[in-house]
Chains A and B, each alone.
Chain A
Amino acid sequence: MDLLDWALLLGRVAVVFAGLLVTVMLLIWMERKVIADMQTRMGPMRAGPRGVLITLADGIKLFFKEGIVPAEADRPVYLIAPVIAMLPAFLAFAVIPFGTSVTLFGREVPFQLADPSIGILWVLAMASLGVYGIVLAGWSSGSNYPLLGAVRSSAQIISYEIGMSLALVAVLMYSGSLRLSEIVEAQARVWNVIPQFPAFVVYLIAGLAETNRPPFDLPEAESELVAGFHTEYSGIRFALFYLGEYVNTVTVASVAVTLFLGGWRGPAPDVLPWVWPLLWFLAKVLAVVYGYVWVRATLPRIRFDRLMAFGWKVLIPFGLVWVLLTGAIVVLPDVYGRGPVVAGAAVVFGALVLASVAAPLLRPRPAAEVGR
C-alpha cells in the first residue's frame, strides 16, 4: 500500500461517512414533507428552499442547547450511551455495496467500504450491538420512563431480530454466500424479491421494528412513555440518538435493496458506467424508505402485547416454515426430478385449499354470530 492507496481509502471512508450524514439530513426532510403532504399540511417551509435545510437548522439548534445530566443519572454510562447508539449504525453500512467501482488515478475504487466473507452477519452483529445504546440510555438516566422504554424497546428489538434473521437465511439459501457482493451477483438473472417475496415482507416488517419506526415505535410511545429511552436526553446528545436511528433506517433499507431488490443492478446506458448503479441503488433505497414513511402515515401504533404476540406467534413460525419450504423447493427437484415434486406440491396445495374451504363449513357456528 502506497500513499495513493491510503489517500483513496481515507477518501472513500470520508465520502461514505459524509454521504450518510447528507442522506440522513435529506431523509428527515423528506419524511416530514411526505407525512405533511399525506396529512394535507405544508411541513417545514422556512429553512432553505421548501424547507430542505430544516434538519441542518434543527441540528444547529440542538448543538447550542443546554445538555442536562439528571441528578440521578449514572454519569459515565449516561454520557457514552449516545455514542454507543450511533456507532453500530454507521458500521453496519460499511459492508453494503452501493455501486460497482470507478477507476481513479489508475486504481480501482470499489463502491463498498469492505466486503468481508461474513458479509450479512456483520450487519446482524452490528444490529445486535445497537440494542446497548438504548438499554444503557434508559438505565443510566435514573428515571422511570426511560427505564420502562428501554426494557420494552430492547424486548421488541430482540424479538424481531429473529424474524429478520430467518428472512436473511432464506435469501442465503439462494445465493450460497454471506458476502454481500456475491449476493448481488447472484441476482443477475432475477431479483430475490420474486422467488423470496414472503421473506421480503418478513424482512420489511422486522426492519420497521428494528429501527423503532411506526407502527412499532413503542419505545418512544409519547402517549404513555413521554419519549421512551431518551426522555432525559437533550441537546447534542439527543441529536446523536436521532442520527443513529435514521442511519439505521438507511442501513435497513439498503440491506433490503441489496438482498432482495438486486442491489445496484438496473438497466443502464453506456455513458459513465459507474454513475448508473449508484443512482439505481439510491432510487431503490429511497423507494423502500418512502414505503416506510407511507406506513407511518397510515398505521396507528400497535399495542405492546400485540406487537410481541405478532413477533413471536406469527413472524417466527412463518419464517421457520418458509426457510424449510425454500429448502424443499431448492433440494427436492435435484433429488427426485422436477415432475414428481411439482405433482406432489400440487397435491399438497390442493389439499390445503380444499381444507381451508371445507373447515369453516364443518365448524359449528359460534354463538356470538347466531344473533346477527
Chain B
Amino acid sequence: MSADQVAFLVLAPISVGAGIAMLLQRNAVHAALLLVVNLVTVGIFYLMLAAPFLFAVQIIVYAGAIMVLFLFVIMLLGVDRAEPLEEPIRFQRTAAVLLGVGILAELVTAVRAGVGFRALGPAAFAETGADTAALARALFRSYVLPFEATSVLLIVAAVAAMVLARRRPAPATAEPEGVVDAEEAAPEEVGA
C-alpha cells in the first residue's frame, strides 16, 4: 500500500464525514468550519492526483477567501446561533432534493461514460509535467477567451457586491421569530 492510499483511506472518511456533519449542523459557524475541513481534504486529494496547483487554488481561494466571506456574512448578520428550520423559500426542500438527484444521475452517467478521464494515471501526469507551467500554457494559449471572460464575471461580482452592500437591511420586525432571543433583548435592559 502506498503512502497515497494510506492518506486516502484516512482522509476520505474525514472528508465525507465533515460534509455530512456540515449538513446536519445547525450552528452556522460550526457548519462553515466543517466545510473548511471538507475543502482542505479535497485539496489534499488534488495533491494526490498530481495537481499541486489546484491544491493551492483550493486552499487560497476556497478555504482562504470564500470561507472568510461566509464567516463575515455569518458574523455580519449575527446568525451565529441556531437557525430556525422553516423554509425561507417555498418548495425549497423539494427543489433541492430534485436537483440533488439530478446531479447524482449526471455524475453517475458521466463516470460510466468516462467523460474527462484519460488512460493516463496521475503518475504519468507528474512525469509529463502537468504542473503549473503546463497549466499556464493551456490556459493562456488554448483557452484565452474563457480566461478573459473570467474578468467579466469578476466585474459582475463587484457590481453585485456594491448593490448588496448599499441596500439597507430590512427592519427588525421582518425577521423570523426564531432568531429573536435573549441577546436581542439585551439593549433594552441597559436603557432600563
Interfacial residues, chain A to chain B (CB-CB below 8 A): 74, 76-77, 116-118, 121-122, 124-125, 128-129, 131-132, 135-136, 139-140, 147, 151, 154-155, 158, 161, 178
Q: How far is the CA of A158 from the CA of B69 in the complex (A)?
A: 10
Q: B residues 51-78 with Cβ under 8 Å of A?
A: 52-53, 55-56, 59-60, 63-65, 68, 71-72, 75
Q: A77-B30, A131-B68, A147-B75 known; A118 and B132 CB under 8 Å?
A: yes
The DSSP consensus for interface residues of chain B is helix
CB proximity of A119 to chain B, nearest CB, Å? 9
Interfacial residues, chain B to chain A (CB-CB below 8 A): 27, 29-30, 33, 36, 40, 52-53, 55-56, 59-60, 63-65, 68, 71-72, 75, 80, 131-132
CB proximity of B57 to chain A, nearest CB, Å? 8
CB proximity of A182 to chain B, nearest CB, Å? 12
Q: How far is the CA of A35 from the CA of B144 in the complex (A)?
A: 53
CB proximity of A80 to chain B, nearest CB, Å? 9
CB proximity of A74 to chain B, nearest CB, Å? 7
Q: Are A117 and B52 in contact (CB under 8 A)?
A: yes
Q: Are A131 and B29 in contact (CB under 8 A)?
A: no
Q: Are A151 and B30 in contact (CB under 8 A)?
A: no
Q: Are A124 and B60 in contact (CB under 8 A)?
A: yes
Q: Are A131 and B60 in contact (CB under 8 A)?
A: no
Q: Are A139 and B52 in contact (CB under 8 A)?
A: no
Q: Are A125 and B60 in contact (CB under 8 A)?
A: yes
Q: Are B132 and A129 in contact (CB under 8 A)?
A: no
Known: A118-B55, A125-B55, A139-B71. 10 other contacts (CB 8 A): A77-B33, A117-B132, A128-B59, A128-B60, A129-B40, A129-B63, A136-B29, A136-B33, A139-B29, A155-B72
Q: How far is the CA of A139 from the CA of B132 in the complex (A)?
A: 37
Q: How far is the CA of A118 from the CA of B131 in the complex (A)?
A: 9
What B residues does A135 contact at CB under 8 A? Answer: 68, 71
